[in-house]
Chain A
Amino acid sequence: MSAPLTSLDRPNSYIGRSVPRPNAKRLLAGRGRYVSDLKLPRMLYAAFLRSPHAHAKIVAIKTDEARALEGVHLVATGEDLAKICTSWTGTLDHFKGMTSTPQWPLPLERVVWAGQAVVAVVAESRAIAEDALERIRVDYEDLPLVVDIDAARRAGGPLINAGSTNNVCFRSQLDSGTVDDAFAHAAHVVEEEFSFGRHTAVTLEPRAIVADYDPSAGMLTVHHATQTPYQFQDLYSRHYGIPEARVRVIATDIGGSFGMKLHVYHEDMAVVGLSILLGRPVKYVADRIESFVSDIHARDHRVRARMALDATGEILAMDVLDLTAIGAFSTYPRTSVVEGNQVIRLMGGPYRFKNYRATLEVLFQNKVQTSQYRAVGHPIACAVTERLVDMAASKVGLDPFAIRARNVIADDSYPQTSPTGYRFEALSHQACLKRLHEMMDYDSLRAEQADLRKRGVYRGIGIATFIEITNPGPAFYGVGGARISSQDGAILSLTPSGEVRCLISVTEQGQGTEAIIGQIVADQLGIAQDHVKVVTGDTEVTPHGGATWACRGAGIGGETALQATRVLKRNILEIAALILQEQPAALDIIDGQVVDAATRQQRLPISEIARIAYFRSDTLPPGTQPQLTVSHHFAPQGYPFAFTNGIQGCSLEVDVETGFIKVLKHFIVEDCGRVINPMLVDEQLRGGIVQGLGAALFEECRYSETGQLMNGSLADYLVPMPMEMPDILIAHVETPTADTELGAKGVGEAGTAAASACVLNAVNDALSPFDATINAIPITPTRVLKALKRF
């Protein structure tokens, strides 16, 4: 009870406080409103016939029997939809030389991956639609296919896109020009080739959409389980030729997204077209196998990398080649090269060195598209860098903590620019390293490891330093011509009873956007949080904005809310000053009461100000026009990204007989700037880490030689379950960004960014007595036993 008062002890101080999410009670009661739950009057259901071939020409499609089935309203092919929808191409202007072929809702001539939707059926129930699919006959003519990276690069091999000369989507190179010289003068060089399997998001709610075109109003309403409603409003408007103001996209409760639900999917675009053709609501919910074969996949990189060091273990240079295979198209509108681009730019990010060269080659193959998924590119750049650092440590004879302490950019040396061109405002690698060392009780962990090793128990300790891109500005997509907003908007109203309604463009997918926006508004205005109602995810109601992706909810959305609230507060105090015959600057708001700023003496509840302004404006001085609704937009300026940083640690045990890995404990020290709600930040970190651990140990989309996905179910594609996951210890360092008043950066991808790297280092540490190494993700028991030469 004798603890000193902190800033959190003043009334309505919510920034920094662990308050529960207001909307979570609804979800706990089974009252979520997911798109998959939605039923509209006269609604019909779509199902899709999918290609069994990875690459084939469509010779003929016979649909008469399907059309004849009772309950079937429409059978549509690619040609039917192409008459009303324009095609799209997944390239961005600033990726020079990038290619990808035009895409249509359903294919016109060829199928390019196994599982691609070919024909759509709309019927009175999903079951009838599926019955009809069985009555459709498609004649295919097999075409030569490309499944792996080597085949995609082979000269004279099959080409995925007729008319092109190779299967390259994009090539890029970064070169400081001095790399060869640095390697020539290095005391030590470490080198490795890494492979990273294809993963997919496996949101627990599959993709879901209900398109509802009303021809009498010329109005399209789409209930869409997406992170980015404004982006889809724009896309549906432009590709179907409907004025933007007559397209409404509503994204209420979303059952998981992780980046997967912001890309254009062929089925979703088709469902909009089907609804336009029928003039009725049409619903499509992917089932799990459809999710596996048509949701975007991610990662799928092969990286060769080397690092040069001087005799003391100081990093001199890195040289990297990243090959990544993305499927037959590049996704739209964000493209599939962003991950590779981030891989080569994030390499070596935490470290102080100048000589860097990287080549990126992005290749087509006959598989479903890969694209942005949680922590785009980060896990790969981090795993490669951190494994090379560990290899170097062992070569130089330094402890993993010591080599990092020698090389990380010093906390007092910012601002800094990385050799790959990223600008860092202020990071805290040294503080994080020190904190992790204490938190892990590193020396005892090492002593225990040595002790157990004598008894045939092989434990490994791994650490991984990381940086994370958050708060992306317009340079991310806008410069490439994509209509993806970097700004966000908020509309704030004081209601007649003195509460606040906040309509904001950042969206909620369970991470707590609505909670933190409510906290910021309540804090800045001086009212109780339960007097703030936050509304998200409806383009007809909320102002246009980028919405929630790439960790921009708190940093950009939060700043938008903060600035909007300050404007509203100023307006409220101006009216209060007129009523109280006082200067606005002499007033403040605390706990919903206008008070004397100096003495904190209560003057008038803000509900009374609202009552007078709304209902008795006749009592205000002539000429007064109360502005109790404010509309405010904020676009990030200053640094192109607000980089965050941190470090993770992992303790695990490898069973050298079975190859099984048990993660014992995981640690993270994270610096996301100003923490708005510590509980939500910690849960974001834990969730992110577990997704990263899944990628590190279990998850892989495995294909046959003929391009068939072999593990398209939750029994075959393993995701982390409670039993395999460790407890996760979390600590924070706070370095707020000076680019905003709020100072918040993102945190959603930090956990995923370094988890794979950490596990990779820990497993290699455990295997070190056997002279065995692992350089592939996921680290399956088979791969462990192969490394041990026991399989």
Chain B
Amino acid sequence: MSGFDESLLDEVDETVRVRFVVNGRKVACEVAPRETLVDCLRNALELTGTHAGCEMGACGACLVQIDGRAVHSCLMFAVQADGAEINTIEGLTESGVIADLQAEFHRRNALQCGFCTPGMLVNAQELLSQVAEPSREDIRDALSGNCCRCTGYEAIVDAIDAVAKARREAGGTP
């Protein structure tokens, strides 16, 4: 690697100040331009509930809510999320908006190792906010970017199906 350009390194070292609203609170941090949002959330903000499974948007473990929509935090640089409102599994848990999904997943054992689960929940919440009466086929389709290696998906589909019905009966969300 002869002729290494030291100035390139300086550029790598340079950090940028970004600000988000994460789980309802304003936060600011210094990030390198090359740092992905998932790394920023996990390392700088210590929100380790968001996981990195494939780092190319194929597995869904890194899904978070950005401005209300489910987004792969591994496919986004932290600087791109400047000014965004971000909800991670920690925030969604604390606010209670997915408490019914979590309870149903628990009741039906719709998880095993739990590594994919935060992404599954974010995606399930996204689906239920968009489609009030999803069929089982719709649910499977919506989860087609969420990989789980432990379950057979069926209990996950059952749980989301049950929550969709319960929310509908409770008067319809969103």
Contact = CB atoms under 8 A, between A and B. Distances in A.
Given A34-B48, A65-B1, 16 more contacts: A29-B49, A30-B90, A30-B93, A37-B42, A136-B1, A201-B149, A203-B149, A204-B59, A258-B149, A512-B109, A683-B109, A683-B155, A686-B152, A686-B154, A721-B146, A722-B153
B164 interface: no
Interface stretch (A213-221, A712-720, A756-764, A783-791): A712-720
Interface stretch (A249-257, A322-330, A418-426, A568-576): A249-257
Contact of B113 (A25, A254, A686, A715): A254
A679 B89 contact: no
Contacts, number: 179
A224 to B, nearest CB: 15
Contacts of B112: 256, 509-512, 683, 687
B104 to A, nearest CB: 10
Q: Which of A29, A201, A258, A685: most chain B Cβ within 10 A?
A: A29
Contacts of A722: 139-140, 143-144, 146, 148, 153, 156-157
Interface in A187-221: 201-206
Contact of A30 (B12, B88, B146): B88
A512 B42 CA distance: 27
A32 B102 CA distance: 14
Interface in B79-116: 88-90, 93, 102, 105-109, 111-116
Interface stretch (A94-102, A127-135, A520-528): A127-135
Nearest to B8: A131
Interface of B: 1, 4, 9, 12, 32, 34-35, 42-43, 46-56, 58-59, 61, 88-90, 93, 102, 105-109, 111-118, 121, 139-141, 143-157
30 contacts: A20-B107, A20-B109, A24-B111, A27-B117, A30-B89, A30-B93, A31-B49, A65-B4, A131-B9, A135-B4, A136-B1, A203-B115, A204-B51, A204-B116, A204-B147, A255-B51, A256-B149, A288-B55, A510-B112, A689-B152, A690-B151, A690-B152, A713-B54, A714-B54, A719-B149, A721-B144, A722-B143, A723-B143, A725-B140, A725-B152
A714 B115 CA distance: 16
A714 B59 contact: yes
Contact of A510 (B50, B88, B118, B150): B150
A347 B34 CA distance: 53
Contact of B149 (A30, A202, A683, A751): A202
Q: Which 10 A-B pairs have the closest CB atoms?
A: A30-B49, A27-B114, A686-B152, A30-B89, A510-B113, A255-B115, A510-B112, A37-B48, A714-B58, A714-B54
Q: Per DSSP, are chain A's interface residues mostly helix, strand or loop, or mixed?
A: loop
B37 to A, nearest CB: 15
A689 B151 CA distance: 9
A687 B148 CA distance: 9
B1 A137 contact: yes
Given A135-B1, A287-B55, A29 B109 contact: no
A536 interface: no
B13 to A, nearest CB: 8
A691 interface: yes
Contacts of B156: 722
Contacts of A201: 149
Nearest to A679: B109
Nearest to B34: A127
Nearest to B48: A37
A163 B83 CA distance: 64
A290 B115 CA distance: 19
Interface string A498-521: 000000000001111000000000
Contact of B49 (A24, A32, A511): A32
A21 interface: yes
A691 B152 CA distance: 8
Contact of A255 (B55, B58, B113, B155): B113
Contacts of B43: 39
Contacts of B109: 20-21, 24, 512, 679-680, 683
A728 interface: yes
Interface in A12-52: 20-21, 24-25, 27-32, 34, 36-37, 39
Nearest to A684: B112
A204 B113 contact: yes
B41 to A, nearest CB: 11
A518 B55 CA distance: 37
Given A512-B109, A721-B144, A722-B140, A32 B54 contact: no
A131 to B, nearest CB: 7
A258 B113 CA distance: 11
Nearest to B88: A30
A728 B56 contact: no
Contacts of A714: 53-54, 56, 58-59, 147
A260 to B, nearest CB: 10
B32 A288 contact: no
Given A722-B157, A723-B140, A288 B1 contact: no
A205 B93 contact: no
A694 to B, nearest CB: 9
B51 A205 contact: yes
Contacts of A258: 149
B39 to A, nearest CB: 9
A727 interface: yes
Nearest to A723: B144
Interface in A708-765: 713-715, 719, 721-723, 725, 727-728, 751
B49 A728 contact: no
A32 B143 CA distance: 22
Contacts of B46: 39
A218 B139 CA distance: 53
Contacts of A30: 47-50, 88-90, 93, 118
B115 to A, nearest CB: 3
Interface string A109-151: 0000000000000000001000100111100000000000000
A20 B159 CA distance: 14
A32 B121 CA distance: 14
Contact of A288 (B35, B49, B56): B56
A739 B157 CA distance: 38
Q: Which of B58, B88, B140: most chain A Cβ within 10 A?
A: B58
Q: Which of B139, B147, B152: most chain A Cβ within 10 A?
A: B152
Nearest to B155: A683
A510 B152 contact: no
Contacts of A69: 9
B56 A691 contact: no
Contacts of B56: 288, 713-715
A691 B50 CA distance: 24
Contact of A690 (B105, B143, B153): B153
Contacts of B114: 24, 27-28, 32, 253, 255, 510
B54 A725 contact: no
Nearest to A205: B115
A510 B154 contact: no
A189 B115 CA distance: 49
A24 B106 contact: yes
A728 B152 contact: yes
A69 B4 CA distance: 11
A65 B4 CA distance: 9
Nearest to B118: A30
A346 B156 CA distance: 34
B113 A205 contact: yes
B106 A253 contact: no
A748 to B, nearest CB: 10
B151 A686 contact: yes
Contacts of B113: 27, 203-205, 253-257, 509-510
Q: Which of B9, B51, B115, B121: most chain A Cβ within 10 A?
A: B115
Contacts of B9: 69, 131
A538 B43 CA distance: 25
Nearest to A135: B1
B52 to A, nearest CB: 8
Contacts of B34: 127
